Every structure is written in structure tokens, then in C-alpha cells.
Amino acid sequence: MNYKSKAKELVSQMTLEEKASLCSGKDFWNLKGIERLGLKPVMVTDGPHGLRKQAASSDHLGLNDSVPATCFPAASATACSFDRDLLKEMGKAMGEECIAEEVATILGPGANIKRSPLCGRNFEYFSEDPYLTGEMAAALIEGIQSKNVGTSLKHFAVNNQEASRMTVDSVVDERAFREIYLTGFEIAVKKAKPWTVMCSYNKINGTYASDNSYLLTDILRKEWGFDGLVVSDWGAVNDRVEGVKAGMDLEMPATGTDNDEAVVAAVKNGLLKEELLDQNAIRVTELILRTQDNKPVPYRPEDHDELARKVAENSAVLLKNENDILPLTKKQKIAVIGTMAKDPRYQGSGSSKIHPTSLDNAFEALKAAGADIQYAPGYPSDSRQVDQGLIDEACRLAASSDVAVIFSGLPDEYESEGFDRTSLDIPDSHNQLIHAVVKANKNTIVVLQCGSPINMPWKDEVKGILLMYLAGQAGGRATANLLLGEVNPSGKLPESYPYTLEDNPSAMYFPGNPKSVQYRESIFVGYRYYDTAKKEVVYPFGYGLSYTTFEYSNMKLEELGPMSWKVSIDVKNTGSMAGAEIVQLYIHCKKSAILRAEKELKGFQKLFLEPGEQKTAEFILEHRSFAYYNPKASDWCVEGGKYEIMAAASSADIRLSQELMIEGDGKEQLLVEDYKELPQYRTLSKPFRVDTSQFEKLLGHNIPTYPNGRPYTASSPMEDIKDTFIGKIMVKQLQKGMQDLAGQDGFDPSMLRMMQAMLMEAPIRSLKMFSQGAFNNNKVEGVVAMANRKFFKGIRYMLKK
């Protein structure tokens, strides 16, 4: 069936009111249908590393328990695999589970850049690098959509923090916007064609993403050729009529009928062209038609559990292996220490939290594998407080063992959707345990379970570090297999690990203030900053060890045509164990007249090799591989000159390189004079800071100012009005509603802190979403008027229907 043609035919038969009705959801998870035209409601629901479909006890905020589904490793882990085929395989399994549960579209993957290691939702995102982000996202999308299930690429765009995420203005220059924060989305859209894209909550340079025609129409549709549906993040709609004009097709979740009525009125009053509404309705109708006749097909949970194990094994990163302490043998007496060995941290908190079909742990997996193990908890599972008795017990066990394996990391309450971390530290109870156990047994290994970089004050003391990130429901078996050498670690870091938080280039500007966050570091994100500024890191981007060794040789460059080259590198396994090497390809402009990073990732390939086996990694470099975004030309341009093409084992471990002369377009000259006035961007201070005048020069305009206090608007956060008369009433009611929800059967207590953070940062207009239909636009305007001390006007709004 030609779904678009059928959708156009059906929309031509709809009334104005029916077309407008399709522009918002039926409830929290379902789209509306139109029965007389044979359009059925279809369901969308959370991802992105597994299916989170609410059970029958669904609540109006989508926070109650969900049906069992395979919890695959989170994106922070799967990105370490650098394995497109593996992500496609995982995506196919997720698609099968969606079909079984009659879900039309899963909300993911997340393609936001890891600007700061503190972002509370980094575990849901792939990388600090846009190329890796785009390739991993595209692979997952291709796998899911191969099963005739839609995806929703999110959160579009420049949404890199949880603090004030629903109202904050992301102030970013055009080059960083294009090169860093949009490129991952662009790759995924062009390569995998997601059925939907989810716009983010935040403003971008002053305009909410849901109202942003430059983002949603000019870039996404006209430049990239996206022909799918744009859906709002849940509660992200600012002005529904402006959203329709901008190309924001579907408001989620349902918030009553008044936004639909506002769209109808705007068309009748000539404020909105009906053709724009028709386009929205066609896109929603097409999405419904694609999946409404899918038939549920059961899947084998045990097969998907095995796949989850395979993904976790291929995503683990061996950070340290002094004196080849790993792999362990079953003959060794092993002390397993830390409650995370039995009660793992295997996923993040928030809307991505999955009810797993099964859950293993490393202790039981090691035991089942025949390892000689004994256990000590080491630290309390529900407290950050140091328990000296538990530490002493762990030290006695370690002293009587051949080797100690400590399971450590970040507990649930440290990172989640809804709030950001405040430091890179893990609990002191973990750090003190590790320091003490190393003194009792020098053969100590640490296994880390966390969603983002951490400080490791004991790094130089322990002999081995195995990073599992958040490894999903089968991470326990994966960990056991890796520790015992049944599987060779092959993951590499998709983000840099700085020595201190202050070393990160965004440190002085993250998370900004409740009104705005300034992206003053521009294009110098992650390794682009560290390598250019010659700033040492603990572990560089792309780093990861193996139980075997690899040799690179015979690098060749072959010109295929204008601005097209094939690069090939031979890689040989020179060790005694089968393993995989991730070959990374970087480019370096040797003498640039403009601001450029020292190097940029432009290709990667994972090669699986038996001992002594050799294979060839091949890459294609084209125009975009060498291009930068030129805001003066409004285009991707290429600077002429010598480029170094580098084959590497990490961003800091260049194995082979060759030079290539590129003929450019000369348009860098449009920027040269401006860039002469940006000395701080050329010197890249350590720690990084940029004066306001230079950031404004880069922006091309002054940094916006934001009034404090009155007048409040519907987009003002609840925090702003909490001390007003009406604000106190509203906050009290919301807190009571939150307490009632938390007391319901099936409520996940780990969601409570996220809800508390959401409550005060949510804009006043979110009252419609929180109130189960009790609030409409008039009542929201009434609250705004009373907060602005216009009590009689507020009462009149409140009394309107």
C-alpha cells in the first residue's frame, strides 16, 4: 500500500474538526482514530533500550509499572560496541516485542550529545561524538523498523541536560548547532528514515523546539528530506497553532480538546492555512495506516535474553589490566565484594525503566560457571554511609583469597531522568571499601556499573577495571564470561573520562541558570576539546583494552572520484586469543585558517579476528568527511589544504597515517576576519572559559536577557510562582497528587525524585497534563493572571468553560 497516497485520500474526506483532532493524542499513550474512515487508535510507548509499555494499571502520567520486556543494555553501553550489525539485531528484537504487545511506535533512540558528564540522562545517549551517535542510532532504527514498527528519534534538539529542561533556552552558535548537536540526528534521518522525530522541551536560541520552523521545517524537512511525523515530547507544546505552522504534527499526551479547538478557530479566522493542518493530518494518518493492521506475534523471551547477554558482552570496556590479572581462572579463590554483585545496577531511572523478563547477577553467574567464590556485601545497599563493619568483613575475605573482585558504581538515586548529577563522585562507602580491600589484597579488580563517567581515586591502586556501564538484564552472565575469559572484552569508550569535572569544557556553563544555558565551548566538545587543548584525560575517547593484541599495517588511500576516497588498513590479531578490534578513522586539517578541532572521527569498523588472522578495514571518505559548517555561506564547506588521515585504536593512539591534499572552495575566507577576534577559542584555556564578548561575537548577536518575576506566562515554571497566592495553592495540589500517585499499587519508587524535580521545573501550562483533564487553557490563563496579581481577570478565566 502507498500509505502517503491513502493518507491524503482519507484526509480529503475529513471535516476540519476531524483533521484538527488528529493533531493531539487520545490519552497518554494512544493516538486518536476516526472510526467512520476505518482509522483505528494506535499505541506509542517508551524505549529506548527495550519496551516500556504500561500495564493495565496505567496512570495518567505514565509512571506505573510496565509489562515484562527484555531490558537490553542502555545506549551508554551499546555505543561502546561500535557495532552497527549488533545494534540492528537488538533493534529487530525490540521490534518483535512491540509487535507482540501491539505497540505501533517505540520512543527512541536518543541521539543527544553528551556535552557534560553530569547530564542525568546520559545513560540513554550514545556519545560525545556526533558521527558515532548518528551511526548507532541509525542502526537501531533500521533494526526496529524492519519489523514494521516505528521509532521516534529524540530529543530534537540541543537537549543536553535535565535541569530546567522544560523551559531552558539553549544558546548555541550555528557551527556548534550544526556540527555537534544536529549531525547525529541528520545521519540517522538520512540513513535510517525514522517514522517519527520527537521535538524536545527546551528553547533553542529563544524559540521553543515545538514552535521552531527553522528546526522542524527548514532543516529537518527541506534540508534533510524527512517525510515522517514530528511528535512533541510529552508536555512540550508551547503554542499549538504556532506548532502546526512550524511542522510539529502531533501533541502528546492528551490534554483535553481546547488545543484542537484553537487550531480549528485559527483556520476559520485565517490565522492558519488549512493546507498546513492538512499536512499534519496526513502525517498522523500515514503513521496509523502503517501499523494499524499489525497482528500480535509472540516471541521467545529466552532468545532475546541471550541476545541481551551478547550485546552486554560486546559492549564492555576493559579499562585496566595490569600484569594480565584478567582473565581469572576457576582454580583461583575469588572474593566477590559489593552488593551490586547480587543486586546489579543494570538500567537507569525514569521513562526508560523497563520491567525485565528475567534478571541475573554476576555472583550467581560466577557460581554457576564453577568459579571458587565467596561473598561479602562491602557497603550498605540502601545507604551512602560508610559501614566500617562491612568494610572489615570484606577485607578479611579479600586477605584470604587469591583475588578480590569489587562491584561498584553509581546507585539509582545518583543518575536519572529529571535531574542532573552534581559531581563525578561515586558514594564514599564504595571508595573507602576499594582503598581498604586493595591494602588487604593487591590483586584487586573493580567492576563498574554506571551510566556515565566517574572519578576513580583508586585507579592507580587496583590491578584491573572492567566497565560494564548499564548492561541490562543479562549483564550478570556477561560479566562472569568476561572475567573468566569465556569472552574477550572488545568495547571502546564513546566518551572521554576527564581527571576532574573542571577539566570538562562545559564545566563553567553547565547547567546554566533556570532561564538559559550558554554553549560557550562551541564545537569543542569532548575529545575535540581535550585533544585540541592538549588536555590530558584519564581515559580518552575510543579507548579500550583486550586480552589479545592487534597490529595495524598497509594503510592505503585510493581516489574513487571527485571528493571520494577509499581508505584501507590491514589489522592482524597478534595474540593467542580470539578477539575484536575497533579501527577508528580520524581526519586532521594540518593548517586551518578557521577554528577546527585537532581531529574528528569519520569512520569506524569492528573486526573479529582469530589468533594470527588478518582482515582489512575499509572506509569511504567524501565531501562531508572534510566539511565544516559555514554560517556565512549557510552551507557545508571544505577548506583546501593538507589533511592527515589517521587509523587509530583511540583518539590518543594513532597507529598509521597518510596525508591527503584536498582542493577546497575558499569560503573559509568569509570567517577569517571574525575569527581573528576570538583569541580565547584559539588558545582554549585549561580550565576552559570564554568572555561574554567573544561568545557574542561567535553567536553573531547579543546573549538574550530574561526578565525575572512578573509578568508570568503559561511557560513560566512552577518554581517562579511558588510564592504567589495561587502558586502556593497549585503547588500544594500538585504535591498531594504526586503523593497519591506514589501510594498507588504498581508505582515505581525510583520515579519519586524525578517527579519531585519535574514538579517545580514544569511550566504552568503543564497543569493540563498533570490534572487528568481538570485544567484547560482558560484555567491555565486564570492561574497566570492571578500570579500576575490580576485576580478578577483570573477568576473570569477560571469560570470560562
Q: Which helix (H) or strand (E) covers residue 735, if one does? A: helix 725-742
Per-residue pLDDT, averaged over 41-65, amounts to 80
Percent of the chain at pLDDT > 70 equals 98
Q: What is the pLDDT of residue 58?
A: 57
Q: Label residue 717 by pLDDT band (50, 70, 90).
A: very high
Q: What pLDDT score was predicted for residue 673?
A: 94
Q: What is the CATH number of domain 548-667?
A: 2.60.40.10
148-169 residue pLDDT tens: 999 999 999 999 999 999 999 9
Question: Which sign does the torsion angle of CA 510, 515, 520, 523 carry?
Answer: positive
451 closest CA partner among 97, 16, 121: 121
Sort residue 492 into left (φ over 0), alpha (ψ -120 to 50) or beta: beta
Which residues make up the CATH 3.40.50.1700 domain(s) of the chain? Answer: 301-495
Q: In angstroms, how far is the first alpha carbon of the chain from the final one?
A: 43
8 A C-beta contact, residue 496 and residue 530: yes
Q: What distance in Å separates the CA atoms of residue 53 and residue 30, rounded to the nearest whole number? A: 11
Confidence (pLDDT) at 740: 79
Report the pLDDT value the prediction gives residue 497, as an integer from 0 to 100: 98
Q: What cell was used for 326?
A: 584478567
CATH 3.40.50.1700 assigned to 301-495: yes
Please count the residues of the chain. 801
Annotated catalytic, 305? no
pLDDT category of residue 24 using cuts at 50, 70 and 90: very high
pLDDT per residue over 317-356, tens digit each?
Answer: 999 999 999 999 999 999 999 999 999 999 998 889 999 9
Q: Which three cell numbers stand for residue 224?
A: 534533510
- Average pLDDT of 41-49? 96
247 contact partners, CB below 8 Å, separation of at least 6: 213, 216, 217, 220, 221, 230, 279
Please tell me which residue in 65, 129, 233, 258 is annotated as part of the active site. Answer: 233
SS (H, E, C) 671-728: HHHHHHCCHHHHHCCCCCCCCHHHHHHHHCCCCCCCCCCCCCCCCCEHHHHCCCHHHH
Give residue 394's pLDDT band: very low, low, confident or very high (50, 70, 90): very high
Whether residue 64 has pLDDT greater than 70: no
Q: Cell triple for residue 87?
A: 545494534
Distance between CA atoms of 159 and 209, rounded to whole angstroms? 10
Q: What is the largest CA-CA distance in the chain?
A: 83
* 358 residue type, one letter: S
Confidence of residue 18 (pLDDT cuts 50, 70, 90): very high
Joined together, the cell numbers standing for residue 797 give: 478565566
What pLDDT score does 63 carry? Answer: 62
pLDDT at 770: 82
Q: Tell me the pLDDT tens digit for each residue of 358-378.
A: 999 999 999 999 999 999 999
Residues spanned by CATH 2.60.40.10 within the chain? 548-667
From the list 212, 196, 195, the residue with the least C-alpha distance to 204 is: 212
Residue 56 scores a pLDDT above 70: no
Least confident of 468-477, 692-701, 737-746: 737-746
Strand partners, 660: 643
Max mean pLDDT among 229-243, 708-722, 773-787 falls in 229-243
33, pLDDT greater than 80: yes
C-alpha cell at 519: 554553549
Q: Specify the 3-state DSSP secondary structure of 426.
A: coil
Q: What is the model's pLDDT at position 62?
A: 58
Residue 302 C-alpha cell reads as: 529466552
pLDDT recorded at residue 61: 56
- Residue 746: what pLDDT? 66
